[in-house]
Amino acid sequence: MLKKVILNNRTVPVPVPIKSLGEAIAWVEETLLRKDQMITKVLVDKREVDDPRAAAQADAKLTVNSRLEIQIDSPTDLSIQSLEALKNLATVVEGILKPLAVECWGDPSSVGPREVDSLHADLSLIKDLVAHFLSLVELDNGLLRTIEEASSALGVILKSLETSRQQGNWKEYARILLNQLEPLVGEMIMESGNLQAMVFSARLQQPTPVQFQRKFS
């Protein structure tokens, strides 16, 4: 029978008889999770379970020597993580724009620099991170307008870059990088930091359930 669970890197004793992964997930959900939290990652003996949501139905046996690690997050936690990933990726993109623009300006080929593919992938990922953040966060819509507009503008710029790329017009591509994309990426970096502060502030204003604190004391 399982004797402990590692929950968000903290060891929690298991005081009830648990023999399977499904029983362990059910116990964690019933006794250790707040209403606003969800299980986002499960590892058994350092091997990740592909679908944490399906883990509650898993019949895999657990023993006293099993190592069960569970990550739990709330939508607020996930929104902060999305913003952090957005800010980090945008910072990386910002750092390559000037060198890439110089390379594009002097590139006479129809193919263009190799870094173009990864740039387009990164810009698409930035848009996905913004969409993920917006699907999770609970803030006044007025506070989200800047990041929404920036994401929309990024979509337009990405299409313009793709058009210039297909036409082999690398000088125009370079102009878009410097005149349109660079200032927008800088704005997104700043706004992601502002939103992180807002989300942190909103979370601090929410009371933490006493029951949850006692279970870890």
pLDDT in 10s for each residue of the chain, 217 residues: 888 999 999 999 988 999 888 889 889 988 888 777 888 899 999 888 877 666 656 677 888 889 999 998 888 888 889 999 999 999 999 999 999 999 999 977 777 888 999 999 999 999 999 999 998 877 777 889 999 999 999 999 999 999 999 999 999 999 999 999 999 999 999 999 999 998 888 766 654 443 333 333 3
The 3-state DSSP composition of the chain as helix, strand, coil percent (nearest 5) reads 65, 10, 25
CATH code, 117: 1.20.120
Mark residue 9 as left, alpha or beta (left: phi above 0; alpha: psi -120 to 50; beta: remaining).
Answer: left
Instruction: Note the pLDDT of residue 149.
Output: 96
Number of structural domains found in the chain? 2
| Last-in-domain residue among 73, 94, 117 | 73
> Is the CB of residue 160 less than 8 Å from the CB of residue 180?
yes
Report the alpha-carbon distance of residue 62 to residue 177 in Å, rounded: 54
> Is the CB of residue 23 less than 8 Å from the CB of residue 85?
no
- CA neighbor of 101 nearest in space, from 159, 172, 8, 39: 172
Q: 153 lies in a domain?
A: yes
Query: Are residues 68 and 113 both part of a single domain?
Result: no
Query: Are residues 133 and 171 both part of a single domain?
Result: yes
Query: Are residues 152 and 173 both part of a single domain?
Result: yes
The verdict on pTM exceeding 0.85 is: no
> Is the CB of residue 125 less than 8 Å from the CB of residue 140?
no
Query: Are residues 93 and 177 both part of a single domain?
Result: yes
CA torsion sign for 90, 92, 95, 97 is negative
> Is the CB of residue 89 less than 8 Å from the CB of residue 125?
yes
3-state secondary structure of 160: helix
> Is the CB of residue 79 less than 8 Å from the CB of residue 91?
no
Q: Which residue range(s) make up the domain with 180?
A: 76-204
Alpha-carbon Rg of the chain, whole angstroms? 23
